[in-house]
């Protein structure tokens, strides 16, 4: 009964319309662990805000193989080749500390916003931003590479705001920039979809005209934000989970799928190649394994997925195929057990009624 109820509940959950998210920035991913530090005197001037940000971004570590290593105050520059060189992979500047978060980014040789002596005005005000993963090396001369304001200024800063900027640092782009976006309307990006479009993503801007709060909310990572993070930063060993019915009657058609696909991944982009093997023999390169197992026996099914970054994910599962007579025997046994359980239950109710 528990298994039946779980199956019904799982099916119902799959049928409920859900939010989706995930647009890859096409600018790489980071190596983990990822060191995080705060510039200037942030740790002493604003310790509560620093602790809050670290708590917020912990959501990524719970969702995927993302290890943020907090190293405290960003270390001083160790000049190289006549330019500054700052340690710390994500170097955060926040308001109300002794390092300015506006104007030309400090650092000899920092190329952001026009470069030394040619500031273009792009860092004025407290609009938050973050560099992409592949910008780490060219922006080593910059004292900070992630800027995070305190919106709202008179209340608790938004959780999604921090997750949004750190999402950029991990390799996620703006959700509303997608060509299939409906709020406020189509964007221009038609490549890099990790999952279907999502108005609940932390990577979405706020558009009150269509009821989307996006990065100005406290909802945290959506289900498909978490999937996007896991696609970019998969589990150690990159396992490929095989999902589907694995005990069949001979002659029954198996329909086995990759776990990411079941969760909502946009497979035309996420996977560049699929390979299904049965007992060591390649039987399909389709997204799903749809195959009739004609004879009883145990079959080893293996899946190899090559993703959009050229990484391989491997998984295996044992498919057990039994004859119709064996299946009837199993169901007969279950029916007998269930009948006895029901009899004992009825007897207990009857006895309790007369005590």
pLDDT tens digits, 186-229: 999 999 999 999 999 999 999 999 999 999 999 999 999 999 99
| pLDDT at 69 (0 to 100) | 98
Domains in the chain, CATH or no CATH each:
19-113+121-232 (3.40.390.10), 242-322 (2.60.40.10)
Q: How would you label 279-313 residue by residue, b for 16+ Cβ within 10 Å and e otherwise?
A: eeeeebeeebbebebeebeebebbbbbebbeeeeb
pLDDT tens digits, 113-152: 987 668 999 999 999 999 999 999 999 999 999 999 999 9
What does the chain come to in residues? Answer: 355
Q: Which element (helix H / strand E) includes 66?
A: none
For 329, phi then psi, to 5°, come to -65, -40
SS3 217: coil
Cα 319 to Cα 261, 276, 324: the distances in Å are: 20, 13, 16
Q: Looking at residues 68-75, what average pLDDT do you find? A: 98
Looking only at the bridges linking them, the beta strands covering 34-38 and 90-93 are parallel
| pLDDT at 137 (0 to 100) | 96
| pLDDT at 327 (0 to 100) | 79
CA torsion 97-99-104-110 (nearest 10°) is: -130
Strands of the chain (E only): list them.
34-38, 68-73, 90-93, 129-130, 146-147, 242-243, 247-249, 253-258, 271-278, 281-284, 289-292, 297-307, 312-322
Contact 116, 162 (CB under 8 A): no
Taking all residues of the chain, what is their mean pLDDT, rounded to a whole number? Answer: 89
Confidence class for position 294, pLDDT limits 50, 70, 90: very high
Q: Looking at residues 83-90, what average pLDDT do you find? A: 97
pLDDT surpasses 60 at 354: no
| pLDDT at 348 (0 to 100) | 37
Strand ranges of the sheet holding 289-292, from the earlier edge strand across to the other edge: 242-243, 253-258, 289-292
pLDDT tens digits, 238-262: 999 999 999 999 999 999 999 999 9
| pLDDT at 339 (0 to 100) | 52
Q: What is the distance between the alpha carbons of residues 67 and 139, in angstroms, rounded to a whole number?
A: 21
């Amino acid at each position: 009964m528990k298994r039946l109820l779980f199956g019904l509940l799982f099916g119902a959950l799959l049928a409920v319309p859900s939010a989706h998210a995930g647009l890859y920035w096409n600018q790489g991913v980071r190596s983990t662990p990822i060191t995080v530090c705060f510039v200037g005197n942030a740790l002493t001037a604003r310790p509560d805000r620093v602790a809050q940000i670290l708590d917020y971004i912990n959501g990524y570590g719970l969702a995927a193989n993302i290890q943020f290593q907090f190293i405290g105050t960003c270390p001083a520059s160790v000049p190289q080749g006549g330019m500054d060189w700052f340690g710390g992979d994500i170097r955060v500047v926040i308001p109300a500390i002794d390092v300015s978060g506006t104007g030309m980014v400090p650092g000899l040789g920092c190329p952001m916003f026009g470069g030394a002596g040619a500031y273009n005005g792009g860092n004025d005000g407290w609009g938050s931003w973050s560099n992409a993963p592949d910008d780490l090396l060219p922006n080593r001369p910059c004292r900070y590479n992630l800027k995070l304001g305190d919106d709202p200024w008179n209340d608790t800063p938004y959780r999604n705001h921090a997750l949004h900027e750190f999402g950029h640092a991990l390799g996620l782009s703006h959700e509303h920039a997608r060509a299939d976006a409906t709020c406020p309307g189509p964007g221009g990006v038609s490549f890099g979809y990790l999952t279907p479009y999502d108005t609940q993503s932390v990577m979405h801007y706020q558009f009150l005209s269509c009821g989307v709060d996006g990065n100005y909310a406290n909802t945290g990572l959506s289900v498909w934000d978490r999937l996007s993070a896991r696609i970019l930063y998969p589990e150690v060993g990159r396992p490929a989970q095989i999902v589907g019915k694995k005990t069949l009657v001979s002659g029954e058609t198996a329909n086995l799928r990759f776990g990411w696909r079941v969760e909502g991944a946009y497979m035309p982009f996420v996977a560049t190649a699929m390979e299904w093997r049965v007992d060591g023999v390649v039987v399909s390169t389709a997204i799903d394994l749809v195959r009739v197992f004609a004879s009883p026996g145990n079959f080893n099914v293996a899946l190899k997925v090559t993703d959009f970054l050229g990484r391989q994910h491997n998984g295996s599962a044992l498919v057990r195929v039994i004859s119709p007579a064996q299946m009837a025997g199993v169901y007969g046994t279950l029916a007998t057990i269930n009948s006895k359980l029901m009899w004992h239950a009825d007897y207990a109710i009857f006895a309790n009624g007369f005590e």
